[in-house]
Structure 1
Amino acid sequence: MITIVLTYRNRDIGILKNCLDSLLNQTDRCFEVILIDYGSVALYKNELEKLLGNYKFIKLVRCETEQQLWCKSRAINIALKRCVTPFVFVGDVDMIYSPDFISTLNILKNNLKVVYFQVGFLSQTESKINKAFVDYHINFKSNKEATGMALFTTDILKSINGYDEFYNGWGGEDTDVHIRLRNAGYTVYFYDDTILMLHQWHPKSYRNKNSLTPFHNLLEKINHEYLKFTNSNNKIKANVNFPWGSYNKSDYDDLNNIETTYSLTNKEAEFKAFVNHILLTEKDKVIKIEIKPHKEFKSIKQNTKKVLGQKTISFLEMDTINNLLLEYIITNLRDKAYQFQYNSKNQTIHLIIKL
């Protein structure tokens, strides 16, 4: 028995339907699917629930994380913690799977191997056509560097604490887990004998500049450098200082019960004092943080003092504070329930977090 893990947030419902239809039409039906909806907004959430009424073999887990950074690792781990089958396949919702996909996985499964798969990419035109799997024209194929679609022994993946939840945003988590399994002595095998899955074309999802959802403009670069240390340090276990794959809905319900509100400015000393005195030390309470530019930020008075070489107040740009706060959460508080908004137009940050 194999569990297929799919992660989802605000994706085209038509693309997801094509994916689920291909699983519905498997020649071997001995599998289950856990789909983690990691924070879709109401529109997509409602569409998803309507669609899944047609697929009784899918277990939906909804996470109220729409005002958090996207964390595919945590979404996968939430499913992994619920997985009781001997093997687990981590896939994507934008794939169309061959009818013989599950039967081939059953042939390939091996307790000493991780198997990841070559993917055929469809063009935009080809992706819009509904046809038999073998009739699709493949535009190009992935190589060994694309590590996302992989079959694991469940116990082995759990033994290394699953995927590393440091990775927020996009990139690195799938290669990281393969490196750590190799470090633990397991064989990681690239299967390219035949194409078992096709990637449906879709436009890249770019964040609107006026969006209030959390965004850190350097996360992909940080993830890339973090991955280098996983490789050079022969790391095996991830998430050693945090509970991994945890999600408690009651913690998110508690975010409605704010106990203390802190109003801060972008004075560097004030912000750093707050982080070290409150954010990283308070326990068992729900707090709200509001941050706005100080009235003297970029004032004529401060600029004049600076020109004259006089002592001035040290400020942080609001973009910098946004990035620093998100980094503190990823590094120190990533298992906590939180809601984060940054209005770059009005230069205001709001964070509610259960410490």
Structure 2
Amino acid sequence: MLEIIFPYRNRGIERVKKSLDALANQTNKNFSVHFVDYGSDIETAKQVEVLIQNYSFAKYQYHPTNFQPWNKSRALNTVIKQLKAGFCFVADIDMIFHPEFVARAITLQKENTATYFKVGFLSENETKYTKQFNAYSINFESTHEATGLTMFPVKALHKIKGFDEYYHFWGAEDTDVHLRLKNDGCEIVFYEKEILLLHQWHKSYRSKETKKLTSDLQLSNIVRLNHQHLKHAGLNNTTIVNIERWGEPLSQEGYQLLESFSGKSKIILNKKETINHLLFCELPKVDKTITRFIIETDDFQNSLKYKIKKLLEKKVPNYYTLKAVNDKLLLHIISFYRNYNYNCKVIESAHKIELTICKP
């Protein structure tokens, strides 16, 4: 048996259908699919759930993390933690599977060995078509450096407590888990004898990054930070990293409690001293009582009086931009509060950031 795990959020339905159709055509049916929807918007979630009902081998599960940053590691760990034994394959919704993929993967299963696969990348134009696997024209092939599509022995992943949940947004979590498995004595093998997986073209995730504040949660330079974290794991021969509550996302009950909060919000202006106090003094004191912080621009910052005093080099408050506040807040959340129950919203129309948070 091969347990296939798809981590997912807000991707095109046609892309999902192509991938699942390819699995429906497998010659070896000894597999199951765990489709983890980690926080898609409600409309997309409904559409993909209905689609997946057409595939008897697939099970859909939704986690209400739509107001949290994307965390592929935790999405995967929600399934990995529940598996008892055997092998799991970390898939990608962009994949088109060769009809013999499952059959071949099962023959490669070996105790304490993780196997990852060479991938053929399709061009933008080629991705538009639906063809037999071998009829597709491959644009280029992946090398051993592309580690994202791996079949793991479940016991080996349990031993190191899964993927490192520090990694948010994108970058390095796949290479990190290979590194930590190696450090723990697991063999990592690159299967490159044939191409069994094709990657549907899409725009680079990094191309969506913006220097402006956006309701689509973003953190500037997160890729660099993630790669520094990977480097740290290598230098320190790291194995186990998730000490507390790994594989436990925000529950539906926790989400509803956060969303139904009706208490008094704490208004935080964007003065540097008030933001620093929030980060270093107020957030560390958050307990099981739900607290809502609303961060907004000080009206004085946009006043004529402020501009004149600043021009005359008089004493005026120092401010962070809301984008800078966003980055500082998200960095603190993923570093220190990722195991808390929280929703973080950027309300673009009102130029506000809203954080609702409590200990689980």
Fold equivalence (TM over 0.5): yes
- Which piece of structure 1 moves more, 93-102 or 330-339? 330-339
Bigger drift between 286-295 and 255-264 goes to 255-264
Which piece of structure 1 moves more, 298-307 or 196-205?
Answer: 298-307
Match of 2:285 in 1: 281
2:246 corresponds to: 244
Tell me which residue corresponds to 1:77: 77
Q: What residue in structure 1 maps to residue 329 of structure 2?
A: 325
Alignment of 1:36-47 (within 5 A): 36-47=36-47
Q: How many Å apart are 1:84 and its aligned residue?
A: 2.8
Whether the aligned pair in 2 keeps the contact of 1:254 and 1:354 (CA below 8 Å) is: no
Unpaired runs of at least 5, structure 1: none
Kindly state the Cα deviation for residue 345 of structure 1 after the two structures are TM-superposed: 6.1
Amino acid at match of 2:107: I
Report which stretch shifted further, 216-225 or 33-42: 216-225
Match of 1:350 among 334, 347, 354: 354
How far the C-alpha of 1:129 sits from its partner, in A, is: 2.1
What does residue range 128-139 of structure 1 map to in structure 2 within 5 Å? 128-139=128-139
* Mapped contact 1:210–1:343 kept (Cα < 8 A): no
Separation of aligned partners in 2, 1:131 and 1:344: 42
Q: CA deviation at 1:200?
A: 1.1
- The aligned residue for residue 256 of structure 2 is 253
Residue matched to 1:231 = 234
Q: Counterpart of 1:19 in structure 2: which amino acid?
A: S
What's the counterpart of residue 340 of structure 2?
336
Deviates more, 1:82-91 or 1:6-15: 82-91
String of CA shifts for 1:257-298, please: whole Å, max 9, x gaps.
324411110122222223333322221121111111123326
The range that moved more, 334-343 or 41-50, is 334-343
The amino acid that maps onto 1:97 is F
**Identity percentage over the alignment?**
35
Verify the 8 A CA contact 2:296 2:353 in the aligned structure 1: yes
Q: Are residues 1:173 and 2:173 paired? A: yes
Correspondence list, 1:68-107, <5 A: 68-107=68-107
Does the CA contact (< 8 Å) of 2:96 and 2:200 recur in 1? yes
Given candidates 210, 214, 217, the residue that maps to 2:217 is 214
The change in CA–CA distance for 1:274 and 1:193 in structure 2 (over 3 A counts) is same
Contact 1:255 1:352 in 2 (8 A): yes
Q: CA 1:339 to 1:213, structure 2 compared with 1: closer, same or farther past 3 Å?
A: farther
CA separation of 1:46/1:346 partners in 2, compared to 1, >3 Å: closer, same or farther? same
| Aligned partner of residue 114 in structure 1, secondary structure | strand
Q: Secondary structure at the match of 1:166?
A: coil
1:119–1:175: structure 2 CA closer, same or farther, 3 Å change rule?
Answer: same
1:6 matched to which residue of 2? 6
Deviation at 1:304, TM superposition (A): 5.0
Q: Distance in 1 between matches of 2:344 and 2:182?
A: 36
1:22 paired residue number: 22
Alpha-carbon contact 1:342-1:349 (below 8 Å) kept:
yes
Asked if the contact 2:286/2:358 (under 8 Å) is kept, the reply is: no
What corresponds to 1:265 in structure 2? 269
The 8 Å contact of residues 260 and 286 in structure 1, kept in 2 or not, is answered as no
Indicate the SS of the match to 1:35: strand
Deviation at 1:42, TM superposition (A): 2.1
Aligned 8 A contact 2:213 2:322 in 1 = no
In structure 1, what is the Cα distance between the partners aligned to 2:37 and 2:14?
Answer: 16
How far is 1:228 from its partner?
1.1
Higher mean alpha-carbon deviation, 303-312 vs 81-90, is at 303-312
Cα-to-partner distance string for 1:169-195 (whole Å, 9 max, x where unaligned): 111100111111111122111110010
1:131 CA drift (Å): 2.0
Point out the more displaced range, 338-347 or 253-262: 338-347
State the TM-score, normalizing by the size of structure 1.
0.94
Which letter does structure 2 place at the counterpart of 1:148?
Answer: G
Q: TM-score, normalized by length of structure 2?
A: 0.92
1:46-57, aligned counterparts within 5 Å? Answer: 46-57=46-57
* Letter of the structure 1 residue corresponding to residue 146 of structure 2: A
Q: Per the alignment, in what secondary structure is the counterpart of residue 96 of structure 1?
A: strand
User: How far did residue 61 of structure 1 move?
Assistant: 1.0
Distance apart, 1:245 and its partner CA: 0.5
**What is the distance in 2 between the residues matched to 1:220 and 1:260?**
36
Distance 1:281 1:225 in 2: 29
Unaligned residue ranges in structure 2 (runs of 5+): none
Tell me the number of residue pairs that the alignment of Structure 1 and Structure 2 aligns.
Answer: 354
Aligned partner letter, 1:129: Y
Structure 2 residue 123 is matched with structure 1 residue 120: no
Aligned partners of 1:68 and 1:339 also within 8 Å: yes
Query: Is the deviation greater in 118-127 or in 304-313?
Result: 304-313
The answer as to whether partners of 2:156 and 2:186 remain within 8 angstroms in 1 is no
- Residue 109 of structure 1 aligns to a residue whose secondary structure is coil
Contact 1:25 1:99 (8 Å CA) reproduced: yes
Query: What are the superposed Cα offsets for residues 246-267 of structure 1, whole Å, 9 maximum, x if unpaired?
Result: 0322111211332441111012
Distance 1:277 1:224 in 2: 29
